[in-house]
Amino acid sequence: MREQSVQKEHTEEQSVAKGFAVLSAAGIIVKLLSLLYIPFLLSIIGEEGNGIYAAAYQVYVLIYAISNSGMPVALSKLVSELIAVGNYKDAVRSFKIARFLLLVIGVVMAAVMFFTAYPISRMMHYEKSHMAILALSPTLLFTSVASAYRGYFQGRGNMTPTAVSQIIEQVVNTIFTLVFAAAFLRFGVEAACAGGTVGTSLGALAAAVFLVWYHNNRGKMRIPSEYRFKKTERYSYSQLVKRIIAYSVPIALSIGLQYTGNLIDVSVTKARLLAAGFADETASEMYSFLYKYQQLLNAPIAVVASLGSTILPAVSAAVALRNKRLVKSRVDFAFRLCFMVTIPSAVGFSVLSGPIYRLLRYGQGSYLMMYGSAAVILMAIVQIQTSILQGSGKFYPVTFNLVLGIIGKIVTNYILIGIPEININGAIIGSVVSYCIPIALNGMLIRKRLKIRTRLPGLALKPAAAAGVMGAGVYALYRIFAGALFFLKNAYLANALATLVSIATGALIYAAVLLALKGLSREELDMLPGRIAARLPESVLKYIQ
């Protein structure tokens, strides 16, 4: 029995790894597309326009978080819990209830965003963004539909439809953002920014259409034969609605408060830059620098977000089964993967900040990445802690911890950004403060409520050592290649080649050192496609624990 239990847990961990691999691959593709189209958008609307566009997008993200963040996660958690105990019929009923509720919420919030666009833009000191906010409002209806299906499939452990829909959404978004921004530019930069947001709406519509099609043709749930006649505790519609609301409200509150803090921070940042003596256009350009830096950080964070989406229902299922050992295993697994992704990303961003900005044609602002890349590690830890605590049902305490972090960020930014010599650099320090506060409080909560100890420094040690070696190697390689390619008359081409070769070689160095330190486990190996894993030589496999 002991061996069977261990084998079952290992199999379940493998499914978590596979789900994470699918979502993270999609996340990487999506973020690459979102990074690559920014220089094209910049060439159309300029730095000031990018600041206007970013401000409008912060409004959309806030209202999206309020309307779409809680219920899909709650649905994922509830479906995974019901399936874990064999209650497949109520899992399907929960999906239908959540889908209807999300559709209603989407219609209401789209109307709210449309009719409050101008007062919100004035509140943020970005009156020029009100047209873009108006144009973004229909997107909420489409994302609400898509969110219902994504939460349902993730609760079932099927990450493929979510991954494919995300790629479809970003491809359509990228194409039509540039097309409509260019088409509307003749009417002014404000109209161009509004035109660019049309791509977001069309991308969300395409994703929703795909998910509905997938569900109707390939994604309907089949009850395993062993559960068809098994008696399980059933729930009424009102009980399922209450459970969905009980789960979704604190999650929506948690994420909504984070984005409310971000929106307030946009206003505070602009106001404090103006107070420091910078002109309005210069302040918008500086905020554009910050937005580009945040977009780059979001690339590795997309992988961590995929891990969070996968680990939350996995932890929920383990808690529903009252399997403390499995909870501990999944928590440690999540943090190991978190550090394996974010630590080398932070080192690489810092060492190659200038070359990466030149490669992507991002213009100015690379100094923010050089000094602030470590924030990606802290951001990722908070995301994983939040998913773990929400998966175990600790909704309100984690929300309170996040709010304290937001308050710390706003206060820090208010003080530091208003100092002319620090200006926009103060936002980096504010971000660090906003993550350190919930990290400390969440850590205590996990130890106290879940009765498990996770030693983050120990889990981070091997990835950090490998990333340190990689950073030194990448820095030296870039200098060597950049110098060797001086004969190329095209400076952009020389930098691009040197940067790409350095990044590729750095990834190999990191993997080699991590293997030498025995920092990879069988669970991480399970994330690789079967054909690749099967072809790994014994000389490599012997270093995997």
Mean local confidence (pLDDT), 84-109: 87
* Distance separating alpha carbons of residues 300 and 378, to the nearest angstrom: 12
Residues 356 and 350: their CA atoms lie apart, in Å, by: 10
Under 8 Å between Cβ of 413 and 426: yes
456-484 and 324-351 are packed helices; what angle lies between their axes, rounded to 10 degrees?
Answer: 30
Question: pLDDT-derived band of residue 532, with 50, 70 and 90 as boundaries?
Answer: very low
Identify the top-confidence range among 27-31, 161-165, 530-534. Answer: 161-165
b (16+ CB within 10 A) / e for 301-335: bbbbbbbbbbbbbbbbbbbbeebeebbbbbbbbbb
Q: Residue 20 corresponds to which tokens in the numbers above?
A: 């994470």
The lowest-confidence range among 90-99, 230-239, 304-313, 429-438 is 304-313
| 365-409 per-position pLDDT tens digit | 888 888 889 988 998 898 888 878 877 777 788 888 888 998 898
Round to whole Å and give the CA distance between 188 and 185: 5
Q: Which of 450, 517, 459 is nearest to 337 (CA)?
A: 459
Q: Which residue has the tokens 């928590």?
A: 331
pLDDT of the residue at 529? 46
Using alpha carbons only, give the angle 292, 26, 254 rounded to the nearest 5 degrees.
65
Q: What pTM, to 2 d.p., does this model score?
A: 0.69
Among 109, 32, 26, which residue's Cα sits nearest to residue 65?
109
Task: State residue 503's pLDDT score.
Answer: 92
Q: pLDDT tens digit string along 450-468?
A: 777 778 888 889 999 999 9
Report, as an integer, the average pLDDT of 240-259.
Answer: 79
**Residue type (1 letter), 92:** V
- Report the percent of the chain where pLDDT is more than 70: 82
Helical packing angle, 353-360 and 2-68, nearest 10°: 60
pLDDT of residue 117: 87
- Contact in structure between 128 and 190 (CB atoms under 8 Å): yes
- pLDDT, residue 4, reads 42
Q: pLDDT for 344-360, tens place per residue?
A: 999 999 999 999 999 88
Spans of all domains in the chain: 10-218+241-454, 455-545
As a three-state string, the secondary structure of 239-275 is HHHHHHHHHHHHHHHHHHHHHHHHHHHHHHHHHHHHH
Q: What is the DSSP string of 311-327?
A: HHHHHHHHHHTT-HHHH
Confidence of residue 11 (pLDDT cuts 50, 70, 90): very low
Looking at per-residue pLDDT, the higher value among 329 and 129 belongs to 129
- Helical (H) or strand (E) element with 478: helix 456-484
Whether residue 5 has pLDDT greater than 70: no
Q: Which token pair is 461? A: 């040690």
